[in-house]
Structure 1
Amino acid sequence: MKYKSDSPEAYIDLLPKERQAPMQKLRQTIKDALPIGFEEVMSYNMIGFVVPHSIYPDGYHCNTELPLPFINIASQKNFIALYHNAMYADPILHDWFIKEYPKHVKTKLDMGKSCVRFKKPETIPYDLIQELCSKITPSEWISLYEKAIKKK
């Protein structure tokens, strides 16, 4: 489902009531844990956290007018999604998350390349997400991103 809004607050207000509190808590968990330098924006009809042009003027290679995306969260039709680009770019971070996940959640991990899907909002491991979000600074993300892009 796509919820079009101009702000994270408006996005959350558009969600079904049972999704609002978990999405707000997920958003706040990320905001509180991210190192200084990331900015919250609306991107791709999702709540996003990016490296702004003031830090990384090159922007996103697919559209340099956009800041460099890092994390997005969204309420989809059947789940809440966390898109964490560094888990896709960094096998060590990816493997760490997969290893840690069962220590926090009893249900099976439902994960794509950079997307973690939570079908039951009550199973969102906020403490694990907090730790995940604190592991990469904007400069570290830029380095990982450039390394991945230059390979292509």
Structure 2
Amino acid sequence: MQSAATSPQQYLDELPDDRKTAMTKLREVIVENLPPGFSERITYGMLGWVVPHETYPAGYHCTPELPLPFLSIASQKNFIALYTMSIYADKSIHDWFVAQYPNYVKTKLDMGKGCVRFKNINTIPYELIGQLVSKMTLQEWIDIYESNLKTK
């Protein structure tokens, strides 16, 4: 569900109490562990972290006026979602996450190409997510992004 919020705090304030607690903790883990340089903002109606135009003026190739997206979290209708380019763009990070997940959560991993869905908010593996978001620097993401643009 996309939010019309214009700030991260407004996004969190508009959530139901049970989701607000989980999303606030998830945001804190991301902020504490994300390498420097990413900028937090509302993007695509979600809490997001992007490569700001000041760092990467070209922006997102599909919509250059938008900064290059990297990571988002959202409270969807039936789950909380973590959208991250690190598990989508880097097979070693993907494989590491998939292998580590059962050490933190006993339920089956519900994951798409770059999306991890948490239907039970009580089983969000905050420590694992902290490790995940720390694995790719801003420059590594830009390098991967640009190398993929060249192959198209």
TM-score w.r.t. the length of structure 2 is 0.97
Structure 1 unaligned residues grouped into runs of 5+:
none
Are 2:144 and 1:144 aligned? yes
Counterparts of 1:26 and 1:93, CA distance in 2: 19
CA contact (8 A) 2:35 2:134 kept: yes
CA contact (8 A) 2:56 2:68 kept: yes
Are 2:102 and 1:102 aligned? yes
Once superposed, what is the RMSD of the aligned Cα atoms? 0.8
CA contact (8 A) 2:51 2:70 kept: yes
Counterpart in 1 of 2:92?
92
Counterparts of 2:148 and 2:121, CA distance in 1: 32
Give the C-alpha shift of residue 58 in structure 1.
1.1
Query: Structure 1 residue runs of 4+, over 2 Å off?
Result: none
Counterpart in 2 of 1:129?
129
Counterpart in 2 of 1:112?
112
Letter of the 1:119 partner, please give it: K
Counterparts of 1:75 and 1:48, CA distance in 2: 12
Q: Deviations over 1:65-122 (max 9, x none)?
A: 1111000000000000000012111111111110111111111000001000000111
Are 2:77 and 1:80 aligned? no
Counterparts of 1:35 and 1:26, CA distance in 2: 16
TM-score w.r.t. the length of structure 1 is 0.97
Letter of the 2:89 partner, please give it: A
Counterparts of 1:87 and 1:43, CA distance in 2: 19
Percent sequence identity over matched residues?
Answer: 58
Counterparts of 1:56 and 1:28, CA distance in 2: 25
Letter of the 1:92 partner, please give it: S
